[in-house]
Amino acid sequence: MDKNKLAEMTKEGLRRLGKAVVVITSQFEGQRYAMAATAVSELSMDPPSLLICVNKSASIHPVLDAKANFCINILSSAQERLSRLCSGESRGEARFSEGHWKDASNGAPRLVDAQACFVCTNSDNFEFGTHSVFVGLIETVHVFGEVDPLIYLSGTYTRVELER
């Protein structure tokens, strides 16, 4: 398969992979940064750690590359507007105009009403293609409310109905 066709088919295949929407946050030299993402994955339970994949063109990338710590905030289905703000609809401090934010123990902004918030030490990173992969060692975890994450699937936001 040629390179362009493979990239097109990869994107089409990944549209079938539903993922929770998160907002990755950090703070560096007194400025707060935030970006919406779905490229987050658990890495290990010993030590507890997560991976985040960040495009090198993202405004938060140089901050993370400078080893700033970060938070991974899993959004609830009611926080779609916040995801849109952090997906390019706004810039800088305007991305924090929605939600209840407070500084986490590592200095990164934490979304108090996120489904879950993982406060992470920026432990390691490597570059691959257009992105960098950052390893976050989990310092603390905060959970809030019922399980009802915002899901991104096939280019749109949705939610999962849990049978109880």
Which CATH number characterizes residue 154's domain? Answer: 2.30.110.10
Q: Is residue 145 one of the residues assigned to a domain? A: yes
Mean pLDDT confidence for 122-126: 97
Domain residues for the domain of 95 are 19-158
pLDDT digits (tens, 9 = 90+) for 127-156: 999 999 999 999 999 999 999 999 999 999
Q: Is residue 2 one of the residues assigned to a domain? A: no
Residue 83 · residue 74 · CB < 8 Å: no
Give the closest residue to 137 by CA, choosing from 163, 162, 118, 109: 118
pLDDT digits (tens, 9 = 90+) for 71-111: 999 999 999 999 999 998 789 999 999 999 999 999 999 99
Residue 25 · residue 111 · CB < 8 Å: yes
Q: Is residue 74 one of the residues assigned to a domain? A: yes
pLDDT of residue 88: 84
Q: Is residue 4 one of the residues assigned to a domain? A: no
Give the closest residue to 71 by CA, choosing from 29, 110, 32, 124: 110
Q: Is residue 142 one of the residues assigned to a domain? A: yes
Q: Is residue 164 one of the residues assigned to a domain? A: no
pLDDT digits (tens, 9 = 90+) for 26-55: 999 999 999 999 999 999 999 999 999 999
CA distance 47 to 137: 7
Q: Is residue 11 one of the residues assigned to a domain? A: no
Which SS3 state, helix, strand or coil, does residue 77 take?
A: helix
Q: Is residue 9 one of the residues assigned to a domain? A: no
Whose structure tokens read 């990755």? 24
Question: What does pTM read for this prediction?
Answer: 0.94
Query: What is the count of structural domains for the chain?
Result: 1
How far from the centroid of its chain's Cα atoms is residue 159's Cα? 17
CA distance 113 to 46: 27
